[in-house]
Amino acid sequence: FIEFETLKKHIDLLARFKVNTFHWHMTENQAWRFEVKAYPQLTSSASMTRFAGKYYTQEQCRELQDYAKERGVIVIPEIDMPGHSKAVIETYPQVGCTNKDKTMSVNGEVNNVWCVGKESNYQMIDDIVAELVELFPSKLIHLGGDEVNMDNWKNCPHCQAFMKKMGMKEEIELLNYFVRRMEKIVNKHGRTLVGWD
């Protein structure tokens, strides 16, 4: 977590060196760092005791966006999923896979992956993206999309049933499906999806 006034100093430095893009990594395993009105528990300290509960309000997001715009800097927000999502899954357990898988991701976390087989997850993502695009006019929304611990999906009955229904043979196809669903959601809101390769 970077204090808000320090973020402004980062923007000042970017502008000074004529860097016109600030990629704001707003979520990670450790915490969800921006306020989502539809899902207030994502940023409530009571539900994030492990993750310290610091976050940016929507007003701060707008303020930083305006501050950056005045200096010729575009803010590209990133919400990291389907991996790197421990904070979300600890706060809203229904988002994760239904299993007792204890394999670790490259970040040393277990159960930090969104379940691809639960249709309700895509409505939640749509709600989050709807609020995100109101805060940031950037044409790009960054998904993250990397370092997914697919063992969660191998051991999840919802994901396995979904794979069977869709005729999928490998878990990488679940990642491809998730990214394409995200792309449709982001496109619906008039933006373009980008992510890590």
pLDDT in tens, 143-178: 998 899 999 999 999 999 999 999 999 999 999 999
Cα angle 118, 120, 123; round to 5: 135
Please state, in angstroms and rounded to a whole number, the distance separating the CA atoms of residues 117 and 99. Answer: 13
Q: Which residues face 22 on adjacent strands?
A: 75
Bridge partners of 144, per DSSP, are 81
- How much of the chain, in percent, has pLDDT values that exceed 70? 96
pLDDT of residue 124: 97
**Interstrand relation of 74-81 and 27-28 (parallel, antiparallel or unpaired):** unpaired
Whether residue 109 has pLDDT greater than 60: yes
Predicted confidence at residue 44, as pLDDT, reads 80
Nearest 5 degrees, angle CA 116-CA 122-CA 125?
115
| pLDDT at residue 8 is higher than 60 | yes
- pTM given for the model: 0.93
Q: What is the pLDDT of residue 99?
A: 75
φ, ψ dihedrals at 192, nearest 5°: -115, 135
pLDDT of residue 197: 76
Least confident range from 3-12, 82-91, 171-180: namely 82-91
Q: Average pLDDT in the 106-116 region?
A: 85
